[in-house]
Amino acid sequence: MPRFLLLLFLCVPLTGCYYMQAASGQWEVMRKRQPIAEVIKDSETSPELAARLRLLDEARDFSIEILGLPDNKSYRSYADLERDYVVWNVFAAPEFSLTPKQWCFPVAGCVSYRGYFSKEDALRDSKRLSDDGFDVAVGGVAAYSTLGKFNDPILSTMMRWDDIDLIAVLFHELAHQVVYVKDDSAFNESFATAVEEIGVKLWLETRGEEEKMADYISGRELQQSLLGLVAVARSVLEKVYASDIDVEYKRVLKRERLKTLAADVAAEMQRNGGEGSGWLTGTLNNARLISTTLYEGRLPSFRALYIRCEKNLQCFYAEAKKMGALDFAEREAALSAGDLLRFGRSLDEQ
């Protein structure tokens, strides 16, 4: 509470202070927390919600005992936010660049997005950025991590997912408490996604539910396929943006390449029986492409690191922390090392 009050006090003189909405939004989340045991016992709690909370409590124990993730009060409570998303993230990039705009904060460092607890505030900021000439993307987020600074609850917004995806997100968010590097969103999210994958595989094996792994792998492989299409489009666009051709012609080439990407994504989804692809639906632009690669750009390198550690999670965490302590150029070189890439096998091969 003192930290929230200090933030609010400092922000009162500023119109539309970003930190004010962040502090008040975080306080709302914390205020609505209830211990999971109490929610389960509550006569007004539906049997379905109670069952899922019991499952998540088991997964939280598993995250500590088997995955070696932090043993604290994170995800030991539940908060019903009574809305679709907890925050809305804003991504932005210049018209002719795939380098994201960065926002810098005291705790998280510099990140490639800005989060708002109000959709209206996010849309207002996106309009301002669009008016300034940026490509912009706005999307709802169902879960996030405060990096262990607060005891994050399980959120009602997370309940949109099936059981496996829900547990995967739990492992993902806890991983941020193990390794987090200021100013390197791609490193952080790729590491957490690797922990998520490893965790889900071990969880299903431990419970004798290996048959469910096929669906999880299928979803992950589709996602990788879509990211491959994005990577090809990015390569083409980067050459266009770096060229000296006329600006209007650049716009034509950009528009046509993004139109082709949208068609390729739709075809891939149709082949796999899907109806949508999240960030890759709707009008594509630089900001939307950036957001799709943020979470998995370095995933193959982290998969390879796990193999190099002979699937020992403590070794994996220790090596990731060592990389995190390097400066950016050294970290990129380490992640791109030939031995890592050589062992970057797919999830089902692990």
CA distance 115 to 142: 12
* Encoded tokens for 6: 């200090």
CA distance 95 to 172: 32
Backbone phi, psi, residue 132, to 5°: -85, 0
β-pairing, 154-155 vs 77-79, is: parallel
Number of continuous H segments (helices) and E segments (strands) in the chain: 14, 8
Pair 40, 53: CB distance under 8 Å? yes
pLDDT at position 233: 95
pLDDT at position 12: 41
pLDDT at position 347: 47
pLDDT at position 4: 44
| pLDDT by 10s per residue, the chain, length 350 | 444 444 444 444 434 478 888 889 999 999 999 999 999 999 999 999 999 999 999 999 999 999 999 999 999 999 999 999 999 999 999 999 999 999 887 766 788 889 999 999 999 999 999 999 999 999 999 998 888 888 999 999 999 899 999 999 999 999 999 999 988 888 998 999 999 999 999 999 999 998 888 888 888 888 888 888 999 999 999 999 999 999 999 999 999 999 999 999 989 988 887 655 556 667 899 999 987 776 667 888 999 999 999 999 999 999 999 999 999 999 989 888 755 655 444 444 55
Of 55, 72, 52, nearest in space to 145 by CA: 72
Domain range list for the chain: 36-179, 210-349
Backbone phi, psi, residue 274, to 5°: -90, 160
